[in-house]
Amino acid sequence: MAQAKKALSKTAKKNNGRGAARSSVKTYQNYIGGKWVQSASGETFDNFNPADTRDAVGRFPLSTHEDVERAVDAARNAFDRWRRTPAPRRAELLFRLGEILMRDKERYALDMTREMGKVLKETGGDVQEAIDCTYYTAGEGRRLHGFTTPAEMPNKFAMCVRQPVGSCGLITPWNFPMAIPSWKLIPALVCGNTVVIKPAEDTPLSTYNLVKACEEAGIPPGVVNLVTGSGKTVGTAITGHEDLRLISFTGSTETGRIIASACAERNAICSLEMGGKNAIIVMD
């Protein structure tokens, strides 16, 4: 973590007294169907360091409804093959993901501090939470047990077998930008679901890092899809999409109520975590 602190200090000095040159800002892309692609509109938005708004962390796709359609199509097309992949094999890929997250923990923590402002000790803990979640959940790949019960009729028994839900839409907040995505993403994957994930506009880089690690771990194309952009456009398109059978959202109570209503209209499963507060007063 000491190396990360030095790197962060160098970044602050580099940007002291001048704005970031637009041409030097790194441009990131959506991840759809195993490929890194720009938004259908070609439009982007810049993400800035809250501690120094002259420091542009990156440029990200300002995605459209069309991008969500492409991501959902990719998730739907990948679902049948992924659900038929044995759960222990899915778990092996997640164990590999955990190793990658552990390897690059300091870099992820530095990126997170730069894009959302928590101190390195806190962002390191955020990444560690993702690591712990990944290892724990990967272990469940060999424990996805069903059960049997006695039947009232002779020569018969009742049987319960676990089945994946399908393609899922995940919408995550800014305050724990790698931990919360991992809580949603990793259990969905080990159970055989495919996902479309939309991070908060304030913290797309940390979720990008998580998805990039999924790609390196060998998770097949279309199983994980990343679409960045506004909640009004991308979030609405995800929550209302007929082919996303489950929506998991963490954020404001007001938005959660809207999502619950949208899911009820189409009888989709809805998981909501709402109303958390992480206010901090910083005195300079």
- Residue 49 dihedral angles phi and psi, to the nearest 5°: -65, 120
Range of the domain at 116: 61-141+166-275
Q: What is the pLDDT of residue 18?
A: 43
Q: What is the pLDDT of residue 20?
A: 46
Q: Is the pLDDT of residue 266 over 90?
A: yes
Mean pLDDT lowest for which of 142-151, 165-174, 222-231, 246-255? 142-151
For residues 144 and 88, give the distance between their C-alpha atoms in angstroms, rounded to a whole number.
9
pTM: 0.89
Give pLDDT tens digits for 25-74. 999 999 999 999 999 999 999 999 999 999 999 999 999 999 999 999 99
In a domain, 194, yes or no: yes
Query: Cα–Cα distances in Å, from 185 out to 110, 159, 197, 224, 226?
Result: 22, 28, 8, 8, 11
Instruction: State what percent of residues in the chain have pLDDT above 70.
Output: 90
Helix%, strand%, coil% for the chain, nearest 5: 50, 20, 30
Q: What is the pLDDT of residue 2?
A: 52
Q: Is the pLDDT of residue 17 over 80?
A: no
Number of domains in the chain: 1
In a domain, 102, yes or no: yes
For residues 117 and 86, give the distance between their C-alpha atoms in angstroms, rounded to a whole number.
40
In a domain, 253, yes or no: yes
Ramachandran assignment for 220, one of left (phi > 0), alpha (psi -120 to 50 degrees), beta (any other): beta
Q: What is the pLDDT of residue 19?
A: 47
- Structure-block tokens of residue 282: 């910083």
In a domain, 71, yes or no: yes
| CB-CB contact of 223 with 189 (8 Å) | yes
Give pLDDT tens digits for 183-194. 999 999 999 999
Q: Is the pLDDT of residue 278 over 70?
A: no
In a domain, 30, yes or no: no
In a domain, 5, yes or no: no
CATH number of 97's domain: 3.40.605.10
In a domain, 158, yes or no: no
In a domain, 38, yes or no: no
Q: What is the mean pLDDT of the chain?
A: 92
More confident site: 16 or 87? 87
